[in-house]
Each structure stands twice: as structure tokens, then as C-alpha cells.
Amino acid sequence: MEYFTTTSKASRRAADCIIVGIYERNKLGGGAADVDTASKGHLTALMKSGDLSSAPGRCTILTAVPGVRAKRVAVVGLGKKGELDGTVFKKAVAAAIHALEGSKTRQILNTLTLESVKGCDVYYLARHSVEAMGDALYLFTEMKSGRKKKPIPLSKYGHAVADRGNAARASRGAEHGDGIAKGVRLAKDLGNLPANVCTPSYLARVARKLAAGNGKLTTQVLSEAEMKRLGMGSLLSVTAGTAEPAKLIVMKYKGAGNEKPVVLVGKGVTFDTGGISLKPGPAMDEMKYDMCGAASVLGTIAAVASMKLPINVNVVVPAVENMPSSKATKPGDIVKSMSGQTIEVLNTDAEGRLILCDALTYSRRFKPAAIIDVATLTGACVIALGAHRTAIMSNSDALREEIFAAGDAAEDRGWPMPLGEEYAAQLKSNFADMANIGGPGGGAVTAGCFLGKFTDGMTWAHLDIAGTAWKSGAKKGGTGRPVPMLSQVLLARCGALP
């Protein structure tokens, strides 16, 4: 995709489409005002007649607008003037792209970057614009036969800026947005693939392919035999019931010399039946998404590599299947983790924490500046926060606030959740150092407390993405979250934000 910025008037651009915005009470956005003047009040007349909607997310495609060189004008609703925020901005961009489906649009100029948007300068507007465009263009047709639906053949995407002084910031925003969109697309693809394709071995091949030809990125894949020698009894207890071999995927992006890396650990359960503690049948197909933590950290390191950030980032992915069989771990079994701590497995469906704890212990060898694990860990998190915000737990107030602020800036929001001994006490076991589940209350928090037992001395945060990693229903599919949030953390840490 080629990106550009322009200070020229929207009506004078010979693009396939220009995107303009309108507000309630017949108020025009910057690009729309220019189009209205050039067309001698065409937009105003359509607004007054009710043929154009200012409702957020609504879009009308106009053709052959008098006085305008572009073939099409996408008029999107922006709601009340003065109340436009990043969420509505991205919704408007996506609406315009969706409205162009089926057309042969190759070049678009987005004038919404001229608008005043709460909390966003031109850098974030261009970045959000590219991310929203990438999201709207995304299609997953890999597993379909016959004639496949295709996105519009977009090859050139531009942003209007008020003056040339804003051009560099807008270009940087588009560049970063493109890198993040690529990471989101990878995370979505991995999540959407069926579990008979996206196995632990498949994830390992993807990781190796990402590193191929990139001098700053390397991939190492540990086998079950190597994990056994390391003492990863907790991780291996989860994979005991399947014929599919587990993999520990370790990726290193070296963009900042000998600086301590940020380590991202992603839960990679490529299919979760619950094991012997078998899940109910309805919606079990969605358990192919139980590797979205892994997908998101792979997507994030792909974004970092695309943006060529001056930072060191390591990714650790424990990749397994959780299946029932005569060899599967049973409720009541006790396993020994890499840390030496023993765990009574009271529920084999609380398996994510069993693989993550060994991955966290393994990550100590990198002496991380910070370590963040990402996991579709608990149904309790969905009850607590729904599908809107990612749960953030941390043993560091500063890191928790850093991630929370990054989520707000990236329009990929999280919400802080507590940790504490009053919750961790639920994990006591009569027979081992700890149990892998607590009581019925605070399930998302007790899961975080469990992981916290393996992070002493490290600056650590846990992101529970069970509610945000995928959508159910008619629009079922991976969301790619929290790639934007994690990318923002890394952009800010390395000083790459303009």
C-alpha cells in the first residue's frame, strides 16, 4: 500500500473516492465544506432533504458530484460536532471502506484527518485511519473453495492535512498504522484457522517464516524432549493427552543493542477441549481461539519488525493441544513446574496457567525489562468486563498504568484488575504448593494470582483477553486484539512516537 499526504482541497483531487464527514444539525466537516462549496451547496441540499445521515457509522456514496474531480464521495456521519472521539473516527473510516465493497476503488483520500478529534493529533488520526482501513479490508477466505470474495483493489491511500507542517507526523502515523495493521491481520489469520490446520507445529512454522530473511529477528523452537530436560512438568501435563507434539516457540527481535528486552508471553492452546474436565459441546468450536494470546504476541513482534523499532523484544509461546485420552492428566494429579513449585491440578480445563507458568519461568533467563503475558485465560473475565476491555493485572503499579494508558491511546482499551493475598489464598492445596484453581468468586483474579507466584523479582503484567480476542455469533472471528495496545506500549518505550 502506498500512503501520501496532501494539503490540496478535496474537490480538486482526481481520486477514485474522497471520504468526507458531516455532523448533526447540518454541520459540515472540513473536507465536506470544500466539496459543498465546489458543488454549490449539493451536500447541504442532501442533508436538508434527509438523504445524508450524520449518525456515526452511516455512509452514503455519491457519484458525479458537480465541481468535484473524484469519481465518488463517501459521506460519513460523525455525530455531534465537538464530541468526535477516536472510536467514532475509526468507525467512520471503516463505514466508508465497507460502503465501497464491490467497487474498483484503487485510490482514496481521507479528509477526516482534518477534523478535531478528542485526544488525537494528526499522527494518531492517520494511524487510526490506516488501522481502521486494514480492519475493514480484512477477509478470511483461505478455507473456502470456488470463487472467493475479494476486497476493493486499494493501492493508494492518502490523508488530508491542514498544512505542510503536519505532513511528517501524518506520514509517521500511516507508517506505524500499516505495521500494526499487518500484525493484527496475522493475529486474525492465526485465530481464524481451524485447529486441524493451526497446530503447535504450524505456529512454529509461522514463527520461523517471520524470522526468515530478517537480520534482527530470530526464532528457536524447543521440542517436548528439551522441555522435559528443562523440568517443564506443568506445561507438559497439559499436552499429555494428545498425539500432537507441544512446541515452545522463542523469538527475539534485536533492535537496541544490549538493552534488556521486553518479553511477551502468549498462551498457545491451539484447541482446548478442557481435557478430562471436558467442556460442554455447544460453542466448543470457538476453542480454536484459545491460542489468540500466542497469535497476538506473534502479531506484535511482526508489527515491531515491520516498523523497525529501536527496541529489544522477545516472544515466548508455549503451544499445546488440550485433549482427553487415557494418557491425559487427571483432576487430582500433582505436577512439578520448572520453578520447582508443585501444582495440584483440580481442573484440567484451567490449563492456560499451567503452560504459562513454565513459560514465565523460562523467560527469566532473558533478564527482562518487563514481562507481559497475554492469554484467553478465564470465562470469569468475560463476565467481569464483557467483550469491550482487556483485563490488566500487574505486580507493578507503573507497568499497569503504562499498559492502561497505551490501550486508551491505541483505541484498544483495557481495565485494571486487582491482585492480592486475599485472592491468592483460594489457591491453597492440602497436597501441593498450590492448586490450579480457586473458589467460584474472582476467577479472573485468582488466575492472575496463580501466575504471579512465578514472577517474583520480575516486573510483570498479565492481560486476560478472553472477552476481547474474538467475536461470537454471525460475525464470528478473531479481532487481533491486543496487538494495537502492545504495539503502543513498545512504541512509547523506545521513543518512536513523534
Cell of 170: 501524518
> What's the rounded Cα separation, in Å, for the pair 241 and 233?
14
Asked if residue 153 has a cis previous peptide bond (ω within 30° of 0), the answer is: no
Residue entry with cell 506445561: 235
Confirm whether 9 is a catalytic residue: no
* 3-state helix vs strand vs coil in the chain, percent to 5: 40, 20, 40
> What's the rounded Cα separation, in Å, for the pair 398 and 411?
20
Helix locations, 110-197, DSSP H: 122-137, 167-192
Which of 353, 400, 413, 481 is an active site residue? 353
Which of 254, 279, 336, 364 is an active site residue? 279
Confirm whether 149 is a catalytic residue: no
CB 171 within 8 A of CB 126: yes
Look at strands 217-222 and 59-63 and give their pairing.
Answer: unpaired
Q: For residue 53, give every residue at least 6 positions away whose Cβ sits within 8 Å of its Cβ, in sequence order, or none.
A: 60, 77
Look at strands 414-416 and 312-322 and give their pairing.
Answer: unpaired
Total H helices, total E strands in the chain: 15, 21
Cell of 484: 494495537
Look at strands 17-23 and 107-110 and give their pairing.
Answer: parallel
Q: For residue 462, give every residue at least 6 positions away whose Cβ sits within 8 Å of its Cβ, in sequence order, or none.
A: 372, 373, 375, 377, 391, 392, 393, 394, 448, 451, 452
CB 306 within 8 A of CB 178: yes
> What's the rounded Cα separation, in Å, for the pair 496 and 143?
38
> What's the rounded Cα separation, in Å, for the pair 275 and 349?
6
Kindly tell me the burial class for residue 138, based on how many C-beta atoms sit within 10 Å of its own C-beta (0-12, 13-18, 19 or more).
middle
Residues known to be catalytic: 279, 353
